[in-house]
Structure formats: structure tokens, C-alpha cells
Structure 1
């Protein structure tokens, strides 16, 4: 496989001096009446003019001679090359690419919507022009393929796979690193350097999004209830110990159970508790 070859061009300002001398020779031929010299000067001036190239920052010129790759110029400025060279301009600037939202299945088989943001640049000027047909289309297709493979390798979250150490929705650094490595490997053949690759959009597919939201809400409610009950038990225990230590009232087991039940209802209830005042004895 061929790779990029740097070509050192001639200084364009020296070529300007040569062009001026050729024009002077042309004028001399016309004035002195030497048509052969004038024609020769015209041909020479035309070749010199055709050999000028200007390369802007973060640009490169790929040079071909009758289909044969001769090299690439990445220096900036005014240069002169063989006037018979064909020239192809390539941008070396960093570019953004945001993929379309695609529907794929995660590791557990759940349909999800995902897109990726890719920052890339051309690194080897030979490969994108001569190793692949259309390097921009190649980037889009290979990025899409890498995203599909990544999504199928990890679960969406820990609800589906509690033992998973890496999930799509939580371990962003690990996921983005895995995605960058996968895309870089696929785009190496096209001479593309991946500067950054990260997930731009991630969500459950619409057909299961509502169900998954209810499941998450239920899990949150269960976790909150567990915390409330844990705190309520501690508060009841503290209250009973405090009453007992200060000898405010002595409870038998039935009265203690009744008090615990009432306190748990008050502390764990969803709505505000309305007290019922007992005007008789504690046994009523």
C-alpha cells in the first residue's frame, strides 16, 4: 500500500524572476524583429505561468503526472512545479461530522436511538484520494457501522444488566474512548485521523421509552421508600428509648406495638396524617 510522499517544490519568487526575464526576451524579439525568439519566449512564459501554485494554511496539493502520483506539497506560500503536473487540492483542517439518529439494539436487545459527533482531519493525502472511492462518504458509512457495533456491545443502563461495569448511559468516558478506537481503526485505510469521537444523542426508541420511564420511576420510588422506612425505624427506636430512659411512661408489649404501628404510619405515609384524639383510657 502506497502512502503520502512529500514533494519539495521550487521557490515561486525565483520563478517570477524567470518569468520577467522571459517577458523581456519576448519584448526584445518583437522589437528586433526576431519572430522565432518571440514565439520561444511566449511558450516559455506560458509554461512558467502554468507552473505557479499557491498553497494556503491547512491546505495541501497532491500532484500527478499523467496519472502517476508524484508527491504532496503541504508547505504554505508561492511555489513553482512542473507545469504538466495535475493538481488536486485537499483541506487539512479539522472538520465536524454528526451522524443521523439511527435505531439499533443494545446488548440486551432493547431498541435505542443513538447518534455520534466525529471530529476528524485528513492526515495522509494519498489514501483518501486513491485508497477509497469517496472518502467523505466512506467516513459516514464506517462511522455508522462503528456506532452499531458499539451499541450492540454494551447495555443501555444498569437496569437491564446489573452486573455490567460499563453502560451506554453512564460511563461516557469509557464509551467515547471505545467509540474513538473503533472509528479510528476503520478510517485508517482512508488516511483519516480521528481527533474526537463522542455520543451526541442517546435515548430509548419511542416504542419502549414510556415503559422504560415507568420502570425507572418505579425503581426510584422503591429506593425512596426503602430510605424512608430505614429512617422511620431509627426514629421509632430513638423515641422508645428516650421515653424509657426518662421513665415518662411504661409500655407493655401490646402498647409498644401499637405505638410503633402508629409512628410508622405517620412517618411513612404519603399524605398528611390526621390525628384521632382519644378522650378515654389508653385501652379504648
Structure 2
């Protein structure tokens, strides 16, 4: 059985990081700064004491300041210690961790991507052009950072692969309206594209909120031929409807003429009348009648 990428990888999992409120540590930094100023004022009276106070204040101030970081709403930071993942902080505002812990910011906001137009062969082998619009976001920061090399590039590649897969699964159009098609079933195809993308991006801790096709057309090399085919199909369908209507009108006319005894027609004259009515009803141009001033049989 073929294994998926997610099955082959040892998955990471996001967990909450141990971090501190940055505003409390900011008070400590201000206190260290004040101590340093106080030590500077003591330098003349007691140089050794003042120097010691300044040294301690500088060390404490630097230790505190290096650990600060700030998060906006819908931002997260992954914290590592010597290459080991220690958790993710999603709390907005001023935050603080120990200075030797490394921090990597990433956005968990919704991202909108419109893919490039790509050429795909549909189910019947016809070349078509397709492009998709996808709204995605990171749900697991650990997977996004540590299970794929570049999660944004990974998303773009998987969008193209999913569009090719869906495009080759269905025909572009079905003139008999008996099959699911790319052009005629937008909602269903869009739902399948979303499901395909969610399955492909699961390994990167990414989900898809919305997707759909922004461009769907025959490739230029067959577009004219397919347009003529569509036009021919439309003409045939229109003619079929016209003939069905004309036959019904002729049947109704003959039935009412016979029912009301307006005129009696033999088989030959009935056939001639049917022919004339069909020509009038199905013709592309207005009929030019010939007035018979004699008898019916002249």
C-alpha cells in the first residue's frame, strides 16, 4: 500500500509554551535602569559601591531586555531551546522568555492565494486552462515549522497538484448534461478541491477555509473548435424544440379543422397542408404566401 507523506513523517504537535507576561518584566527592567542611575550618582562618594551597583544593574537590564518579544492578534511564536521545541505562545501583547530561548514568529491569520493558470487534460483528454483561489491558515505551528521545509512554498505546490488532480477527474463539459462536469458543477467540484487540499496540507498543520476556480476554459488551441461544437449543439437543440412545437401545432390545426367541419381534405391535400404548415412554422424567414383564387384543386 502506498504511504502518504503524513504517514512517513514523525509528526510534530503544537503545545503551549511556558512564557511570562512582559509588562511585569518591564517593571524589573525599569528598576534596573533606576538602580544604574543611582549607582552613577554614588560614583563620586563611593566609587567601588557605585561601580558594583552599575555592573549589577547593567547585567539585570540586559538579561531582561533580551527576553522581550511582542505578539499581535493572530500571531504566534514557536520557542526552541538548543534545537528542541519547547512550545508555542499565542498570547497577544508584550511577552518574555529566558534570553537563551530562540523565538520564531509566524502568522496564523487567513491567507488568500490565487494560483497561476495551468494547462490540464480533462477526463476526455481535452487540454483546458485552470486557476484556483484558496483561503488557508496555519492551525498547528509546530507542524508548519518543523514538518515541512517552507510551508508557504509547500502550499503553492500542493494547490497546483490538487488542481491537476481534480481537473483530470472530470470532463470540462457534457453537452448531453448527464455527467458531473467542471463547468456545470462548480459547488461540487469546489468542495472536492477543498477536500483534496485539506488532505494534502494536513502534514503541514494547515487547513483550507474556502476555495474555488477563478479561471476555467478550453486551451487556446482547441477553443475555436469547441466553440463551434457548442454552437452546433445549441442550433440542434433549438431546431429540435422548434420541430416538436410545430408538430403539435399542426396536429392541433388538423384536429380542429376536422372537428368543426371547416373543410374536408383527402390524404393528398392533408399531406400538402402539413408540408406547408411545417415550412411556415420551421422556416428561418417569414413565409411568402400564394393566394389561391380558384378552387381548392386548381
Q: TM-score range by the shorter chain?
A: over 0.9
Q: What's the CA shift for 1:257?
A: 0.8
TM-superposed deviation, 1:19: 1.6
Alignment partner, residue 54 of structure 2: 38
2:20 aligned residue: 10
Matches within 5 A, 1:1-284: 1-32=11-42, 33=47, 34=49, 35-159=51-175, 163-164=178-179, 166-284=180-298
Q: How far is 1:36 from its partner?
A: 2.2
What are structure 2's unaligned runs of at least 5 residues?
1-10
Q: Scaled by the length of structure 1, what TM-score is found?
A: 0.95
Report the Cα distance in structure 2 between the residues aligned to 1:48 and 1:103, rounded to whole angstroms. Answer: 56
RMSD: 1.5
Deviation at 1:278, TM superposition (A): 2.2
Deviations 1:236-276 (A, max 9, x none): 11111111122111111111111111001000001111111
CA-to-partner distance for each residue in 1:171-226, whole Å, 9 max, x for gaps? 11110111001111111111111111111111111111111111111111111111
**Any conservation in 1 of the 2:136–2:206 contact (CA below 8 Å)?**
yes
The CA distance in 2 between the partners of 1:173 and 1:131, in whole Å, is 32
* Cα displacement (A) at 1:23: 2.2
Given that 2:12 and 2:146 are in contact with CA atoms closer than 8 Å, whether structure 1 keeps it comes out as no
Would the aligned equivalents of 2:13 and 2:140 in 1 still touch at CA under 8 Å? yes
Offset, 1:163 = 4.6
**Cα distance between partner residues in 2 of 1:100 and 1:125:** 27
Unaligned ranges ≥5, structure 1 = none
Give runs of ≥4 in structure 1 deviating > 4 Å: none
Once the two structures are superposed, residues 48-101 of structure 1 have per-residue CA deviations (whole angstroms, 9 ceiling, x without a partner) of 111112111111112222322221110111121111222211111111101111
Alignment-derived partner of residue 3 in structure 2: none
| TM-fit CA distance, 1:20 | 2.4
